[in-house]
């Protein structure tokens, strides 16, 4: 009588043993890739908002110093932009209006590093009523 040894390992005739591990590795890689893209996109959006906020404050500062001329007004705008982590690339006065552009560097893990740009204009409001509703100024 012959004795057969019984194997406790299941036999697979199709040869696809371990494919679930490969699919899991591919899925994890895809999820990590999407996470990196999302983080980069978030940092770009945050830098753009920071550049816009810096430009807004710099334009307000320049407009408040417009009476002293363009050089002192733009110097004030430059200081404000630098304190907010940016760099003033454009600053000039158009009448009493200050036009300012601020750049902030953006670091990226996937793409090349770049610049986020914010532009702003500030100045006095026109005199007189702005809105006429039923003949009365509001």
Q: CB neighbours of 124 closer than 8 A, spacing ≥ 6?
A: 63, 96
| Model pLDDT, residue 118 | 96
pLDDT digits (tens, 9 = 90+) for 103-136: 999 887 777 788 999 999 998 877 655 565 666 5
Q: Do residues 34 and 42 lie in contact, with contact meaning Cβ atoms separated by under 8 Å?
A: no
Q: How far is CA 10 from the centre of its chain?
A: 54
- Mean pLDDT for the stretch of residues 55-69: 94
pTM score of the predicted model: 0.70
Q: Do residues 122 and 62 lie in contact, with contact meaning Cβ atoms separated by under 8 Å?
A: yes
Q: Do residues 110 and 136 lie in contact, with contact meaning Cβ atoms separated by under 8 Å?
A: no
Q: Where are the alpha helices (DSSP H) in the chain?
A: 19-64, 70-83
| Model pLDDT, residue 128 | 58
pLDDT digits (tens, 9 = 90+) for 73-111: 999 999 999 999 999 999 999 989 999 999 999 887 777
User: Whole-angstrom Cα distance, residue 57 to residue 100?
Assistant: 10
Show the CA angle centred on residue 41, arms to residues 37 and 46, nearest 5°: 150
């Amino acid at each position: 009588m012959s004795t057969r040894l019984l194997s406790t390992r299941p036999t697979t005739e199709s040869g696809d043993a371990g494919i679930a591990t490969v699919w899991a590795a591919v899925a994890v890689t895809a999820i990590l890739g999407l996470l990196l893209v999302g983080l980069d996109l978030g940092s770009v959006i945050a830098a753009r908002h920071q550049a816009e906020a810096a430009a807004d404050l710099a334009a307000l500062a320049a407009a408040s110093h417009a009476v002293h001329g363009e050089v002192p007004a733009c110097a004030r705008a430059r200081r404000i932009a630098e304190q907010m982590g940016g760099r003033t690339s454009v600053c000039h006065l158009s009448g009493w209006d200050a036009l300012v552009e601020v750049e902030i560097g953006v670091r990226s893990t996937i793409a090349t590093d770049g610049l986020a740009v914010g532009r702003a204009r500030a100045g006095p409001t026109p005199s007189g009523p702005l809105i006429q509703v039923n003949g009365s100024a509001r």
